Amino acid sequence: MAVLPWLRRRTEVVESVPPLVAGLQAIAGKEHVLWRSDELRSYEYDGSIDVGHPDAVVLVGNRDEVVEVVKLARRFGKPIVPRGAGTGLSGGAVLSQGGIAVGFSRMRRILDIDVANQRATCEPGVVNLDLSKAAAPHGLYYAPDPSSQAACSLGGNVAENSGGAHCLAYGVTTNHVLGLEMVLSDGRVVSSGGAVADSPGYDLTGLAVGSEGTFAIVTKIVVRLMPVQERVRTLLALYDTVDAASATTSAIVAAGIIPAALEMMDGLTIEALRRAGHQGLPEDAQAVLLVELEGLQEGLDELVTQVEGICTQNGAREIRTAKNAEERDRLWKARKGALGALGQIKPNYYLQDGVIPRTRLIEVLRTVDEVSRKYDIPIANVFHAGDGNLHPCLVFDQRIPGDTQKVVAAGADILRKCVEVGGTLSGEHGVGLEKQAYMSWVFSEQDFDAMHRLKRAFDPDERLNPGKIFPTPDQVAAATKMWHDAAGT
């Protein structure tokens, strides 16, 4: 069929591709580079309230492409920000200074499951839950289970040193990562640790875990797998007050019992979950504890009885036990869907991540309640109570002028209290862009200096995820002003 001349002219219009983009296309293939503004939109965000604009996104397919991208970024003087699934809650994957987002959604292969040695080797884009699914036929699983585990990547977990509901008994990501392959900011590839239990030399793996993508880009991860326990029992204890649920948390651990999970959800969270259609949750409880106990068949029933006794002594008005795997799954689905359900209350949320000594739960949760009233912002609490890892979730409507400033200021009040009682700013979500301004509450100039020197040893040009973690005077000033404005002081 003859092509009309005007149509030919239109199809022949050659889009002018910026040189950086052309370079990325040459490395990863045209179809794996995003650079038009509509394509970039979803890469401007993560799960936090921060926003930043990448110059381009490259979806890398292997380690060698990462090396080439790093070299290209150097030539163009551009920042590089690794990106997993973008579920981070501290702005870690947000490009606050532009540059290249290196996405790992194509590097999702589980390279090896070594059943005999209970290890797995994975690419960084592997989704957390997919690893446990792949290990399940061998009676194994990957223990760190962030509530986002159906979406978040192992690379993101490593960078944030993520925790999860079952980290109380088994430890967070750093306790399960045995080795890493990493690309440094000059394109060199280094390996640390490995499949054996210990390795000589500096613990570069330990250093990289939790470094929020600021030291190196992780391209391979060796993790420990754990055997699935013989038996598991899941309890839901219902309370009329948050204080009573908090007291139970301390009492269980003080009795020398470390449950596999010990999670709290307050009344507002339960209401949101019920509105979102989750079944099996009480109508009028002000708090529930989700307690999971597991181990060998023998002795587990006695442990359950002991925990039930502690719950009752501390004011539980009812204790429900999951009768089968289906009921257990339903409870966990509710717990892990809690943040999403908060959309039933308000369209946006701002989640805090302070950690406190478990024994101060009652006091700090009362402060959270006071802050909620002071700023007139509903705050839902859904958190890893056993770890003392609070997640006050401030729900708001970003479209209402002043609301965002209010939640940021209210969040700062809560974090301040966490620090005052001997806690700290982040239990598992990292510092990113969100908590930089408060870092000087917990670190001295000398601390910052030591950290900075370490950062520069790995990344002398500060090209990897720049502008994160370390506070700048401007940010501190802006945060202080916002706090005063919102508090009306």
Ligand X SMILES: Cc1cc2nc3c(=O)[nH]c(=O)nc-3n(C[C@H](O)[C@H](O)[C@H](O)COP(=O)(O)OP(=O)(O)OC[C@H]3O[C@@H](n4cnc5c(N)ncnc54)[C@H](O)[C@@H]3O)c2cc1C
Structure tokens at 117: 């040695």
288: alpha, beta or left? (left if phi > 0; alpha if psi -120 to 50): beta
Q: Which two tokens stand for residue 154?
A: 């192992």
Residue 135 lies near ligand X (rule: CB under 6 A): no
Of 218 and 310, which has the nearer Cβ to ligand X? 218
Task: Give the total of residues touching ligand X (CB under 6 A).
Answer: 36
Supply the DSSP symbol for 222: E
Helix (H, G, I), strand (E, B) or coil at 281: coil
> Beta-strand (E) ranges in 318-448?
318-321, 348-351, 379-383, 392-396
Among 96, 121, 132, 157, binds ligand X (CB under 6 A): 157
Selection from 422, 425, 423, 403 nearest residue 412 by Cα: 425
Task: Examine residue 104 and tell whether it contacts ligand X (CB under 6 A).
Answer: yes
On the CB side of 242, CA atoms within 13 Å amount to 23
Taking CB under 6 A as the rule, does residue 163 contact ligand X?
Answer: yes
The nearest distance, CB 93 to ligand X, in angstroms, is 4
Piece in contact with ligand X (CB under 6 A), picked from 89-97, 363-371, 470-478, 481-489: 89-97
| Region near ligand X per CB under 6 A, out of 151-159, 190-198, 299-307, 439-447 | 151-159
* Binder of ligand X out of 56, 58, 60, 217 (CB under 6 A): 217
Minimum distance between the CB of residue 51 and ligand X, rounded to whole angstroms?
14
Choose, by CB under 6 A, the member of 20, 33, 43, 47 that binds ligand X. Answer: 47
* 33 or 152: CB nearest ligand X: 152
Nearest to ligand X of 161, 248 (CB atom): 161
Interface with ligand X (CB under 6 A), residue from 253, 339, 364, 407: 339
H/E element, 58: strand 56-59
If one asks whether residue 96 binds ligand X (CB under 6 A), the answer comes out as no
Does 248 help bind ligand X (rule: CB under 6 A)?
no
- Residue whose structure tokens are 């109508």: 283
Answer yes or no whether residue 381 interacts with ligand X by CB under 6 A: no
Candidate list 23, 52, 54, 146; residue touching ligand X; CB under 6 A: 146
Instruction: Kindly indicate which of the ranges 17-25, 140-148, 241-249, 469-477 contains the residues binding ligand X, using the contact rule CB under 6 A.
Output: 140-148
Does 213 participate in binding ligand X (rule CB under 6 A)?
yes
Question: Judged by CB, which is closer to ligand X: 83, or 233?
Answer: 83
Q: Which is nearer to ligand X, 314 or 465 (CB)?
A: 465
- 20-48 burial: b if 16+ Cβ within 10 Å, else e: bbebbbebbeeebbbbeeeebeebbbbbb
The 58-87 site mask, x for binding ligand X (CB under 6 A), equals -----------------------xxxxxxx
Out of 160, 181, 266, 292, the only residue in the binding site for ligand X (CB under 6 A) is 160
CB of 3 to ligand X, least distance (A): 44
Is 153 near ligand X (CB under 6 A)?
Answer: yes
Backbone angles phi, psi at 293, to 5 degrees: -120, 140
| Residue 374: partners with Cβ closer than 8 Å, 6 or more residues away | 410, 413, 487
Encoded tokens for 481: 């002003």
Which is nearer to ligand X, 87 or 246 (by Cβ)?
Answer: 87
Number of H helices, E strands in the chain: 17, 18
Tokens standing for residue 97:
């200074």
Residue 457 burial (C-beta neighbours within 10 Å; 0-12, 13-18, 19+): exposed
| Residues 23 and 78 sit within 8 Å (Cβ to Cβ) | no
Tell me 427's DSSP state: S
What is the rounded distance in angstroms from the CA atom of residue 39 to the CA atom of residue 21?
13
Q: Which is nearer to ligand X, 176 or 483 (CB)?
A: 176
The yes or no reply on residue 413 touching ligand X (CB under 6 A) is no
Q: Which residues contact 274 (CB under 8 A, 6 or more apart)?
A: 281, 283
What x-and-dash track marks residues 429-468 binding ligand X by CB under 6 A? x-----------------------------------x---
Site for ligand X in 223-242 (CB under 6 A): none
Nearest distance from residue 167's CB to ligand X, in Å? Answer: 8
Q: Phi and psi (nearest 5°) for 345?
A: -95, -50
* CB of residue 218 to ligand X, shortest distance in Å: 4
Residue from 23, 99, 155, 423 touching ligand X (CB under 6 A): that is 155
DSSP-derived 3-state class of residue 355: strand
Query: CA 135, 172, 265: angle at the middle one, nearest 5?
Result: 100
Among the listed residues 23, 52, 99, 156, the single contact to ligand X using CB under 6 A: 156
Q: Buried (b) or exposed (e) across 460-469, using 16+ Cβ within 10 A?
A: eebbbbbbbb
Determine if 148 is a binding residue for ligand X (CB under 6 A).
yes
- C-beta of 185: minimal distance to ligand X in Å? 11
Residue closest to 316 by CA, chosen among 324, 307, 325: 307
Select from 56, 73, 80, 93 the one that contacts ligand X (CB under 6 A): 93
Q: Which residues bind ligand X (CB under 6 A)?
A: 46-47, 81-89, 92-93, 104, 124, 146-148, 152-153, 155-157, 159-160, 162-164, 212-213, 217-218, 339, 428-429, 465
